[in-house]
Chains A and B, each alone.
Chain A
Amino acid sequence: MKRFRFERFKLYVLIILVVTSFIQVGILWNYQNEGLPTNFLWNIFDSSKSKVPSDVSDYVKLFRVTATEGYDESHFIIDEGNEYYDKLCNEAFYYLTNLLEGKNILSKQTYPEEYWGEVVVKKSFVYEFKTKVNISILKALLNIENSANQEFDGIYKMALLPRIDSNNNIGLYVYDGAKTYGFVLPFNKKGLSREKYNDILIELENNEYYSYVVMNEWMGINKTPYRIKPDILIPRGSASEDFEDIICSVPQIILNIDTNRKDDLEKIATKILGNDKERLTWGVDLDKSIVFRNPSKSYKIHQDGLLEYKYLSQYDRADRGTEIEALERAIEFIAQMADLVEGADIYLSGINSEKEGYYTFTFDYKVNQRPVSFLQYPVNTGIEGFVNNAITINANKKKVLSCYWILKEFSIGSNTLKIRTYPFDLLDDVFKKYEYLNFSNFSVKDVIISYEGKYSENEEHLRPVWVIETIDGKYYTVEMKDKKGE
């Protein structure tokens, strides 16, 4: 009897050991892979684990919507506050959905890239993403189940031409950065009519908004000493614009942290890591950055608000997946912490699909519809010496592999900056500032006015600058001058 009891006791101990060893294996497996076979354990124990709702449309947004009456006429930027902005976007997405589903296409034609320059100087409404958006992402954005085969694999910019012919048809032109594709579709019976498009244009002209011109309308296509993309918009004349005084600072939660207090560290851990915090240890580095890590992940929050995330284990190159799958992982990662960035919208600004085993996505901020650029921002850790975007994420279909995120919060000061938007010396100023530039190593892919964010641990008042992006992905900035007499 005594022996039987002892044997039973041994059996219980054995069962406990087997169960705990499974749990231990599960924990380690989870650190390494975050996949099968033991995720269920966490799901059982961690009932509070819920992903922050995120949607592709929260981050894949149009960068700019413009309209013009045609050649030699002003181009107007239609901002999100404009009463027609939503209607115009819905219209564009309606026609784009039809196009991707292969419905109601009356005719189509493919043109070389230069033709895009001709499209944008016709009577048109132009919709631009900041980067070429792949069809798989567009399908997710527009909730399209099945799409027809297309000659193009993504859209960088598109244009609606309400006066394509004398019939009741509309022209939809798609530009993927390399070619232009033209389509004729019937007008949306429930949407804006041709007359309504006219009325919107007349209203834009009458309201005397700041107007722009396509650089090549003045420079001529292929007549310049270096390549200028066919649709670069610059302010039309020697005007000035009012700019808000944008104040940029490190998020309060990071700024107020006392690294000696466990409560403070827990607070930031909850904010940054969510439920992941239970599985990570934390500490403070020599440079006062806060580090959270386990064998497979490392989060580092620097004093200037830079968040550096790294997946430390090996990843399977076969897990690359599609662009949309990887983008969804990136967006889930961002959505978890997006509320740290107050006062700014986050938008997808770049996709690099050339890396083996993962994709690189970049995101940037817009404050009150004005872009904020962080160019040559020092990260001083890892392989990268600097980043050019607010968020740079490497992700595959299963997980985020690394991320640099310049966490900042923004507010509007009481001052108004009167800035001269005089574009005529712009190119000379670029060549003066960057003396190594010459006709063979310079080109213009895009010119935007953006606030310039710089490395700082303190509160900064941002100033608008010209940002010139070249075709080979380099950025040059030129300071904008204050309006004289102000």
Chain B
Amino acid sequence: MYKKIFYIFTVVLLIVSFSITSFAEGVENQKLLNQYTILSDKDTSDTEQFLVTITRPEGDESTFKKSYVICGNSTKDDISVMLLIYDSDEKKYIPFANTDGDYIWDIGASGIFMKEVILPNKGANDVRIIAYRKNETDKLVPKTNLQINSFTVSVLDNGIKEAIKTGFLKITDMLNGLFK
């Protein structure tokens, strides 16, 4: 009987301890956003890409698919990346989780990251990619150990794509007719 209770107690203890870790991580991340309001502030200016080179989006981009992959790379060690999206109701940038459920991730040994997100809005999606040295979170300073870059990724209607295609085909058909 005691044995059984002991086992149950151990299992409960393990579950609780794991939950605490993940909860703590979430709290830590949220603390970072609370501590540095510049991260979520719409008026914060972009910095140079000195920690991470963001290869996608390259600037403001348009796409026809809601599934979008954010990519970048870094040759530096211990870099974390945070992804935010602008919320017009809250009038600030809020966490934007990728399809793995994370909005903060570390750049691994390959130096390259690719993260898939589902863009929530038809039309403009204002995303912000933040990179920082993860062991210097006590004092993050833009342009020193904190990189901030904002982009607009617009999801276009598939009708536009069809119109472009049809339009192009019509023009080429017309030209073919003219020069036959």
Q: Chain A: residues with CB nearer than 8 A to chain B?
A: 72, 163, 166-168, 198, 213, 218-220, 223-226, 236-238, 423-425, 427-428, 430-432, 437, 439
Q: A218-B114, A224-B112, A428-B108 are in contact. List 12 more A-B contacts (CB 8 A).
A: A168-B176, A218-B55, A218-B56, A219-B73, A219-B112, A220-B56, A223-B73, A424-B69, A424-B114, A424-B115, A431-B108, A431-B109
* Nearest-Cβ distance from residue A376 to partner chain B, whole angstroms: 22
Q: State which of A163, A237, A439 has its C-beta within 8 Å of the C-beta of B111.
A: A439
**Contact between B73 and A237 (Cβ–Cβ < 8 Å)?**
no
Given A167-B176, A220-B55, A223-B73, CB of A72 within 8 Å of CB of B112? no
**A432 CB contacts on chain B under 8 angstroms:** 108-109
Which residues 108-130 of B sit at the A interface, judged by CB distance below 8 A? 108-116
**Contact between B175 and A237 (Cβ–Cβ < 8 Å)?**
no
> Can you name the residue of chain B whose Cβ is closest to the Cβ of A69?
B165
Number of A-B residue pairs having CB atoms within 8 Å of each other in the complex: 70
Give A485 to B27 CA distance when docked, in angstroms: 29
**Contact between B58 and A166 (Cβ–Cβ < 8 Å)?**
no
Q: How many residues of B contact A (CB 8 A)?
A: 28
Give A213 to B99 CA distance when docked, in angstroms: 18
B18 within 8 A of A: no
**A224 CB contacts on chain B under 8 angstroms:** 55, 73, 111-112
**B110 CB contacts on chain A under 8 angstroms:** 427-428, 430-431
Query: Which 5 pairs from chain A and chain B are nearest by CB?
Result: A428-B108, A427-B110, A431-B109, A220-B55, A166-B175
**A168 CB contacts on chain B under 8 angstroms:** 176
**Contact between A223 and B55 (Cβ–Cβ < 8 Å)?**
yes
Give A437 to B112 CA distance when docked, in angstroms: 14
**Contact between B63 and A218 (Cβ–Cβ < 8 Å)?**
no
B75 within 8 A of A: yes
Instruction: Sample 27 A-B pairs with CB under 8 A, ordered by A number.
Output: A72-B64, A163-B172, A166-B172, A166-B176, A166-B179, A168-B176, A198-B169, A218-B56, A218-B71, A218-B114, A219-B56, A219-B71, A223-B53, A223-B73, A224-B112, A225-B73, A225-B74, A225-B112, A237-B116, A238-B116, A423-B114, A428-B110, A428-B112, A430-B110, A431-B108, A432-B108, A432-B109
* Nearest-Cβ distance from residue A217 to partner chain B, whole angstroms: 8
B67 within 8 A of A: yes
